A and B are shown apart, each in its own frame.
Chain A
Amino acid sequence: MISYQIIFNQLGPEPVDRIINHFGEWTLIFILLTLSMTPLKKITKSVEWIKFRRMLGLFTFFYASIHMLSYVGLDYRFDFEPLINDVLKKKFIFIGFSAWLLLIPLAVTSSEKMVRLLKKNWRKIHRLIYIIGIFGVLHYIWLSKTIFFKPLIFLIILVILLLFRIKITRSASKI
């Protein structure tokens, strides 16, 4: 869809913004999808969902990387001076960039081999996704002029998905 629009110059008045926002939004959608696999497993009592988790996680990383690259490359032309300035001074860029950095170890350790190699540590590392999710949504809220309505929707879904975790661990510790 977006590639068609890029090729045929159908992106409207502010194409660079459209591209960056498009990939940013899909990154967030993939984070939320990744986070909803475990709750879905609990609800439906089917392990099937977990099979998709890694793929969705890697999609998150892929979209986040394009999102970041289009910002660095298309918007700022790899002009690093204002970029570094942005990352350090603008909190929404700082937190977004941090989230991307945190995604790297998750992507690197996503293979079956790594899961076996890292054993228990793998789960610890991959808990980073909660922080990434929070960072990602904060990134969106902070860059928007008002929280209405898309940032708010993402926030509500994220909170629901994180609340599931608290419930799960609680009920698990009771048993």
Chain B
Amino acid sequence: MIKFKNSEITPENIYKKRRSFIKSVGLGASTLAISSIPFVNKSLASERDKLTSYKDITTYNNYYEFGTSKSDPYRNSQIFKTTPWDIAIEGEVEKPIKLSMEEISEMFISEERIYRLRCVEGWSMVIPWMGFSLSKLLSKVNPTNKAKFVEFESVYDPAQMKGQRYPVLNWPYNEGLRIDEAMHPLTTVVTGLYGKKLPNQNGAPLRIFIPWKYGFKSAKAIVKIKFVENMPTSSWMWASPREYGFYSNVNPNVDHPRWSQATERIIGEGIWAPRVKTLMFNGYGDEVANLYSGMDLKKNF
């Protein structure tokens, strides 16, 4: 295992340490003491919104293109080339377009967006992304009236991406959203995190992020966005349709066939921190529940 010397940790961490120190001097001291006692099964609401450290966000990743272990993406992605990079928007649109990464960063201003990330494996982070609403990018094309869904295709480059040399998933990685989900203001095109350029292991140069869905819905290193008529079959649906549905909204009431989704473990909270209850739509129900009114979310998992 690769270890990091303290000297290698980014300034964000120092900043965060200072912050948590100030916190712990005040109100934090007592709450810390309580939460470190085992058998106390309640978590504190404030813990849920504490930013995950830059180090954890960038060294603990699921990105099977670079390997199946959590530390693989950081290790195997450092020499990955992200320039030049083009993104095609095509399919059921009047006029397909192709944009370079430079054009995109000129056209759209990225802002800080702090969202919770809930992984289907039962862990979560709070990440200060840099990005803008996907709807802005999609408004550059006019979809035909046949278009019902949006498909996202990630890059296929086995020469640079070790994991793609093995049939772990059906490469290239594929994800999809209903058009109204894709147009929702919370659905974000991500270009950075912690005010910096997006690291390779987090999906550089451009990925999407859908905060109310399990992490795997948020495709990384996107090269193609396609408007389509029929519901796309995502890579994970293709791998196991029984376990991964098209919607994959965070839902504590619908268990994954093999593991429970009722609770989650917050990354970076240490060995004594208890699990916390998972929130419906990952806590974004007020914003997105209306997208699914009248739908049986147990069936449409």
Stretch with Cβ within 8 A of B (4 or more), from A60-68, A104-112, A139-147: A139-147
In the bound complex, what is the Cα–Cα distance between A92 and B265 (angstroms)? 19
Contact in complex: B258, A82 (CB < 8 Å)? no
**Whole-angstrom distance between the Cβ of B91 and the nearest chain A Cβ:** 29
In the complex, whether B267 has a CB less than 8 A from a CB of chain A is yes
Which one of A10-18, A40-48, A120-128 is at the interface? A10-18
Smallest beta-carbon distance A92→chain B, Å: 6
Note all chain A residues with C-beta closer than 8 A to B258. Answer: 90-92, 142-143
Given contacts A13-B60, A90-B258, contact A146 B68 (CB under 8 A): yes
Report the separation of the CA atoms of residues A38 and B52 in the bound assembly, to the nearest whole angstrom: 49
Contacts of B259 in A (CB 8 A): 90, 92, 143
In the complex, identify which listed stretch (B76-84, B126-134, B225-233, B270-278) lies at the interface while the others stay far away.
Answer: B270-278
Shortest Cβ distance from A91 into chain B, in angstroms? 7
> In residues 1-15 of chain A, which contact B (Cβ within 8 Å)?
6, 9-15
Contact B268 A6 (CB under 8 A): no
Cβ-defined contact, B263 with A15, below 8 A: no
Instruction: Pick from A9, A85, A148: contact of B270, CB below 8 A.
Output: A9
- The residue of chain B having its C-beta at the shortest distance from the C-beta of A15 within the complex is B271
| A9 nearest in chain B by CB position | B270
Residues B245-301 near A (CB distance < 8 A): 255, 258-260, 262-263, 265, 267-268, 270-271, 274-275
Report the bound CA distance from A85 to B260 in whole Å: 9
Q: Are A11 and B260 in contact (CB under 8 A)?
A: no
A77 touches B38 (CB 8 A): yes
Q: Within the assembled complex, what's the spacing in Å between the Cα atoms of A90 and B271?
A: 24
Interface residue ranges of B46-90 to A (CB < 8 Å): 52, 56, 59-60, 64, 68, 70-71
| In the complex, per-residue mask of A7-37: 1 if CB is within 8 Å of any chain B CB, else 0 | 0011111111101000000000000000000
Q: Which residues of B contact A (CB under 8 A)?
A: 3, 38-39, 41, 52, 56, 59-60, 64, 68, 70-71, 121, 123, 166, 168-169, 239, 255, 258-260, 262-263, 265, 267-268, 270-271, 274-275
- The 22 sampled A-B contact pairs (Cβ below 8 Å) are A9-B271, A12-B56, A12-B59, A13-B52, A13-B56, A14-B70, A14-B265, A14-B267, A15-B270, A17-B265, A75-B275, A77-B38, A77-B274, A90-B260, A92-B258, A143-B258, A145-B68, A145-B121, A146-B64, A146-B68, A146-B239, A149-B68
Taking Cβ atoms with an 8 Å cutoff, the residues of A that contact B are 6, 9-17, 19, 73-79, 82, 85-86, 89-92, 142-143, 145-146, 148-149
